[in-house]
């Protein structure tokens, strides 16, 4: 008599959490459903119950990781009360983010899979909305001078993506502190402001 898969006892978050770890470590292509199942202390059927394919699992895993990222970011931003500090906190969160490997997986697979391309678009829309909200608040408060927030948001998002790739590759010339410096340099230019030198870690 074969055992019934205990799907009702396994919660989705457990599986997603395991998927994030396994995919980050092995890459999607080398990730088997069985690997995720083992990491989540369930059976392959338990994983497949929720996610019918590896690609769907990738999209869901990154979404789950991003949910966690935004929760932490939200907590951090709630402690700050001016747009400049919030903007710097946003940059720091992005640089310190653990999701970059998953993003790169998603980008690569989006090249050939329209469903993943749509998932990427949704996740990117969310990230850009986060950036834009801080820009708009800064414009409203007079801290930032931005004529076209949509364009500046895209510039910053693209800059961060490009730098994150080099940092994720362990390029010494774009270490996390250097990435931070470059982001803040460009940000000052496009936001029409200076960001607090004390916060920037350079001698005033």
Partner 1 sequence: MSPPEAGATVEDPGEPSAAEPSARERILESACQLVASDGIDDVRIARVATRAGVSTALVHHYFSTREDLLTDALLHSFQLAAEERFGEDPAERVERATERLARAIRTSLPEPGESEREWVLWVELWLRAVRDPSLQPVAAALYERYRSWLAEVIQAGIESGEFEPVDPGAVADHAMAILDGLGLRALLRDPNMDLARARRTIAGLLGPELGVDPADLLR
List of residues contacting partner 1 (CB under 8 A): 27, 29, 100-101, 104-105, 107-108, 110-112, 117, 120-121, 124, 151, 154-155, 157-163, 165-166, 168-174, 182, 185-186, 189-190
Closer residue to partner 1 (CB): 73 or 123 = 123
Nearer to partner 1, 105 or 130 (CB): 105
Q: Nearer to partner 1 by C-beta: 25 or 52? A: 25
**In contact, 61 and 118? CB cutoff 8 Å:** no
Give yes or no for a contact between 106 and 59, defined as CB atoms under 8 angstroms apart: yes
Report the nearest approach of partner 1 to the CB of residue 49 (Å): 26
> Closer CB to partner 1, residue 12 or residue 125?
125
**Least separation in angstroms between CB 80 and partner 1:** 26
Separation CA 156–CA 94 (nearest Å): 11
The number of angstroms, rounded, from the C-alpha of 42 to the middle of its chain's C-alpha atoms is 27
Look up residue 48 and give its two tokens.
């497949």
| DSSP conformation class of 37 | H
Nearest distance from residue 16's CB to partner 1, in Å? 20
Shortest Cβ 171–partner 1 spacing (Å)? 5
How far apart are alpha carbons 108 and 173 in whole angstroms? 24
Taking the complex as a whole, the smallest distance from the CB of residue 34 to partner 1 amounts, in Å, to 18
Q: Which is nearer to partner 1, 92 or 161 (CB)?
A: 161
Cβ atoms 143, 193 nearer than 8 A: yes
Distances from the Cα of 125 to the Cα of 8, 150, 168, 178, angstroms: 33, 11, 22, 26
Q: How far from chain centre, in Å, is Cα 157? A: 11
**CB nearer to partner 1: pick between 77 and 131:** 131
Instruction: Please write down the HEC assignment for all residues of 58-86.
Output: HHHHHHHHHHHHHHHHHHHHHCCCCHHHH
Contacts for 11 with CB less than 8 Å, ≥ 6 apart = none
- Rounded to a whole number of angstroms, the minimum distance from the CB of residue 6 to partner 1 is 32
């Amino acid at each position: 008599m074969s055992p019934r898969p205990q799907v009702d006892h396994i919660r989705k978050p457990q599986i997603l959490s395991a998927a994030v770890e396994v995919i980050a470590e092995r890459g999607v292509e080398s990730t088997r459903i069985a690997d995720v199942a083992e990491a989540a202390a369930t059976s392959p059927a338990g994983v497949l119950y929720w996610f019918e394919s590896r690609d769907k699992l990738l999209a869901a895993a990154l979404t789950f990781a991003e949910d966690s990222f935004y929760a932490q970011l939200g907590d951090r931003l709630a402690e700050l009360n001016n747009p400049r500090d919030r903007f710097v906190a946003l940059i720091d969160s992005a640089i310190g983010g653990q999701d970059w490997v998953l993003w790169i997986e998603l980008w690569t697979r989006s090249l050939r899979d329209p469903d993943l391309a749509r998932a990427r678009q949704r996740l990117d829309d969310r990230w850009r909305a986060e950036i834009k909200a801080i820009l708009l608040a800064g414009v409203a408060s007079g801290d930032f001078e931005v004529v076209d927030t949509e364009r500046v948001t895209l510039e910053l998002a693209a800059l961060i993506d490009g730098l994150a790739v080099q940092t994720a590759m362990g390029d010494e010339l774009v270490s996390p502190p250097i990435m931070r410096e470059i982001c803040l340099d460009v940000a000052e230019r496009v936001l029409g402001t200076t960001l607090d030198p004390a916060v920037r870690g350079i001698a005033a």
